Structure 1
Amino acid sequence: QHPSQTFHLDQNRPRHPAKSHSRQQPFKQQTECNTTLDVHEISSYYIPLAKSIHRLAEQSLIDGNEIEPLFTGNTAYNAMLEAIANSKKSIVLMTYIFHADGIGVKFISELRQAHARGVVIRVLLDGVMAHLTRPSVVHALRNAGIPFALFNSPLLARQFIFLNLRSHRKICVVDGRIGFTGGFNIHRDYWSSNPDEAVHQDTHFRVTGPIVAQLSTVFVNEWLYSSGETLRGEPWFLEEDEIPHEGRVLARGIAAGPNEQQERLRGSYLTALNVAQKSVKIMSPYFIPDEVLIAAIGDAINRQVEVDIFIPRNNSKILLAATMGTINEILGHGARLWLCPPPFNHSKLMIVDDQWLLMGSGNWDERSLRLNFEFNVECYNALLVNKINTLFRTHQNSATQFTYAEYLKRPFHHRLFDGCTRIFSPFL
């Protein structure tokens, strides 16, 4: 198929997300986790966590990665645009929201130039969000001649029944060697040409090393479902053993979705909470955990684990109410809730005992846990975690702690609204 062709109406794609998102190639046999973690000076009590997520994710824990956090829109977008501008062979880009104005103009321009010099490109967009954004990113990509596909487009009758199953993943891979993943959409509210203007915040990651092959595999599977086109080998991606080691971070990709027999994202959260011995830090714009996760948080606190939860104070009233409908139980156990001031922060991060990091697209709500297709990465590296801890400390210094006593002082009609809103959280 010609690289300038668009694939969003291809009739050959699989008919059901569960069939197209079938399990990836059989995962490798479990390595000696204790030896691997010991070499990296990671405590042996992480062995159960590493083994559990290995079985959940069906991916190997990979050594030799360099993972660089990108804390602002300017930093993250500039790093991605630079990689696209220097691309030689291929670009794959998957995102939930892609605005055709603001920073999106720069992305479309760089993609157009890369396409003109012979770089093969595939862009995958969530079908609902692609039709809701204005100006139309579909028209912008088509006019630029950039091949794209839509995941579960609501305009196709046979996919309408999957309308509530969205692709929330954010993945970009350039030349099969440089990857980007995390929380950033290509969104106008997270970037400004004026460096002094306050914009929304998020956290993205530039990744190199063998873990990039796992990012590529997720894209290839979702592209096959959405377009019917199979992408194999070069120039699209390299196998893990073909990508040179770039650093010292142990990492593993976790592709979660409603088609999985085991709930990978929920399982990762639960196992991490159960393994924690000293501290857990969670940052999520949408924190509406279910009863199982609430119980796991309570159990961690009963073991004298310090649990700190960071959410934006300037979230929508409905989403904040849904959080409040859940948070009273956690606060009653002894968790600390921090309401962070503007600008709004969209980061999804979890740290356990200052050595383990989970980052990516997944929130702590029913939509991420049950309905969305998400992608996260677990990382074992104290130096990387220390960089993320800097972000947590910065937010804690400016945040206001919301206590259980303050929750009990909320008027009854507010608490009633909190509980009602929580019921409808999967649709928010």
Structure 2
Amino acid sequence: MEFGIPHLFGYLIALTHVLGVVAAIHAVLSVRTAQGAIAWAIALLFMPYLTLLPYLVFGRSTFDAYIQARRQANREMQLAMADLNWRPWIEEAQAAQRSEYFGSLRALPRLSPMPLLANNQVRLLIDGEATFAAIFAAIASARKVVLVQFFIVHDDQLGRRLQQLLLERAAAGVEVYLLYDGIGSHALPSHYSERLRAGGVQVRTFATRRGLLNRFQVNFRNHRKIVVVDGERGFVGGHNVGDEYLGRQPPLAPWRDTHIELQGPVLACLQESFAEDWFWATRQLPPLILPAAYPSRGMLCQVLVSGPADAQETCSLFFAEAIHAARRRVWITTPYFIPDEAVFAALRLAVMRGVDVRILLPARPDHRVVYAASSLYAFEALRAGVRIFRYQPGFLHQKVLLIDADTSAIGSANLDNRSFRLNFEIMLLTFDSTFSGEVQRMLEEDFSHAHELAAGDDQQIARLRQLGMRVARLISPIL
């Protein structure tokens, strides 16, 4: 027996490496992108002890099956909506097409099934206090239907305020629907949802598929944040429901984030996006409401929804198209900067065209491996002429894109592979010089609280940390 145990360990080590080789071959043949395939293959070949189980759970080839299932559900939803005479935006879309901004992003009509719509009112909500004050006030005034969707809901002070408010509206006869992501809200106790259901709130968890292993499936997450009240007021942006989003949890406090409040025809698009996700979770449609009349004036807006079941990589292509369209300015704020080759090339080309390209990133990490990979990309962008800033006061979580003097995008999408290809995301595009001026002033305030990186700053980083950054970059496509 004394000789058997070492032999057994030897066989286990050999088997692990053989399985690592087999899994690496499988990754090369089945992973959707070249970067992801390379990342998995390298990790499986050289670190099979650490990566075999994660690959089994996170990287196995359910992608195509999931895409087909989701597309089928979307087709079923559209059939269910056909009797509702939905999509009430023909006249508004025709008015928008006559505007001077319609041709600025020429690929958008094919990238998004949602049209460019005129006569919308948009209000910028800076940070959590303003955001949740506006959201809670809107919900408190609800008379018919409340649709609420978040990636993360916590059972903390803010989460319980939302819970109580939803229960109050349900008790008043309002139809209330809450959808949250099963992985993003994994810490949410069951009694939170049970109390809502007992009070008449319709609550569902967004799950990828059924099955034990899919309980741990971090891909195909629903990262969208949507609130719509009575079809008249809506909200979208970067905040989730948790005390940290109000800046109450060090060491990341104060938390810097941005949301927007909407009124007008574009709310039909927010409702349709919610309905698509609710239908996936329940195979039923939520109530969809159209106001009696739309505003007679307002700005042009377009909702861009993206996800892994898209016919093309909508989110990545949008960022590439927007950066290519820029003539004077590209300002981006994102917590995670892990661009793919197309977006990174678009940034470099914009610099070569003389465009003012700035990227604002957090100075504090919430995920250390992601932060390390982001740092290496940041230094590469710096060497290409991009101005890189690190926000100092607290954690920066906002997702904002400002193009030239009249185009902005605010929503849930980060500049990383997960948002580009694996998550369901939503962004609101606005085409209005006045509103873009507000976004500009907001970002200028953020830049004033940031440290700008300078050439040679990467040389001040310890060698071991530089090595860690490069290892993190190798696996960045699967982060």
TM-score range, shorter chain: 0.7 to 0.9
**Total equivalences in the alignment:** 400
Higher RCO, 1 vs 2 (CA within 8 Å, ≥6 residues apart): 1
Matched, 1:237 2:299: no
CA distance in 2, matches of 1:291, 1:404: 22
Matched, 1:146 2:196: no
CA distance 1:224–1:304, change in 2 (3 Å):
same
CA distance 1:343–1:193, change in 2 (3 Å):
closer
Instruction: Please state whether the residue corresponding to 1:106 is helix, strand or coil.
Output: helix
Q: Write the mapping of 1:22-421 to structure 2, written as runs, cut at 5 A.
A: 22=75, 31=94, 35-37=98-100, 42=101, 47-49=103-105, 51-133=106-188, 137-152=192-207, 156-157=211-212, 160=215, 163-191=218-246, 199-231=254-286, 235-238=287-290, 243-245=293-295, 247-316=297-366, 317-421=368-472
Conservation of the 8 A alpha-carbon contact between 1:127 and 1:154: no
CA distance 1:323–1:163, change in 2 (3 Å):
closer
CA distance 1:163–1:308, change in 2 (3 Å):
closer
Instruction: Give the Å deviation of 1:238.
Output: 1.8
List runs of 5+ in structure 1 lacking aligned partners: 1-13
Structure 2 residue aligned with 1:3: none
Structure 2 residue aligned with 1:18: 71
Residues 149-179 of structure 1, C-alpha deviation per residue, up to 9 Å, x if partnerless? 1111676459559552100000010001110
Amino acid at match of 2:468: F
Conservation of the 8 A alpha-carbon contact between 1:101 and 1:135: no
CA distance in 2, matches of 1:364, 1:375: 13
Amino acid at match of 1:174: V
Amino acid at match of 2:183: V
Instruction: Give the Å deviation of 1:142.
Output: 3.5
Amino acid at match of 2:103: I
Conservation of the 8 A alpha-carbon contact between 1:15 and 1:158: no
CA distance 1:353–1:112, change in 2 (3 Å):
same
Instruction: Give the Å deviation of 1:200.
Output: 1.3
Structure 2 residue aligned with 1:7: none
Worse-superposed segment, 92-101 or 210-219: 92-101
Amino acid at match of 2:383: G
Conservation of the 8 A alpha-carbon contact between 2:248 and 2:254: no
Worse-superposed segment, 283-292 or 208-217: 283-292
Instruction: Give the Å deviation of 1:290.
Output: 1.2
CA distance in 1, matches of 2:241, 2:116: 29
CA distance 1:404–1:293, change in 2 (3 Å):
farther
With normalisation by structure 1, the TM-score equals 0.86
Instruction: Give the Å deviation of 1:19.
Output: 2.6
Instruction: Please state whether the residue corresponding to 1:118 is helix, strand or coil.
Output: coil
Conservation of the 8 A alpha-carbon contact between 1:308 and 1:336: yes
Instruction: Give the Å deviation of 1:66.
Output: 0.4
- Which structure's CA Rg is the greater one? 2
Amino acid at match of 1:55: R
CA distance in 2, matches of 1:266, 1:146: 36
Alpha-carbon RMSD across the aligned residues, in angstroms, is 2.7
List runs of 5+ in structure 2 lacking aligned partners: 1-66
Residues 358-388 of structure 1, C-alpha deviation per residue, up to 9 Å, x if partnerless? 1100000010001000011111011111111
CA distance in 2, matches of 1:220, 1:243: 22
Instruction: Please state whether the residue corresponding to 1:201 is helix, strand or coil.
Output: coil
Conservation of the 8 A alpha-carbon contact between 1:93 and 1:124: yes
CA distance in 2, matches of 1:143, 1:315: 39
Worse-superposed segment, 108-117 or 142-151: 142-151
Instruction: Give the Å deviation of 1:341.
Output: 0.8
Residues 48-79 of structure 1, C-alpha deviation per residue, up to 9 Å, x if partnerless? 40x31111102211000001011021111011
CA distance 1:210–1:137, change in 2 (3 Å):
same
Instruction: Give the Å deviation of 1:187.
Output: 1.4
Q: Which has the higher helix share?
A: 2
Instruction: Give the Å deviation of 1:103.
Output: 0.9
CA distance in 2, matches of 1:188, 1:140: 20
Conservation of the 8 A alpha-carbon contact between 1:91 and 1:173: yes
Instruction: Please state whether the residue corresponding to 1:307 is helix, strand or coil.
Output: strand
Structure 2 residue aligned with 1:11: none
Residues 76-116 of structure 1, C-alpha deviation per residue, up to 9 Å, x if partnerless? 10111111111000001010001121111111111001000
Amino acid at match of 1:324: S
Instruction: Please state whether the residue corresponding to 2:396 is helix, strand or coil.
Output: coil
CA distance 1:420–1:19, change in 2 (3 Å):
farther
CA distance in 1, matches of 2:456, 2:231: 52
Instruction: Give the Å deviation of 1:332.
Output: 1.4
Instruction: Give the Å deviation of 1:294.
Output: 0.8
Q: What percent of counterpart residues are identical?
A: 27
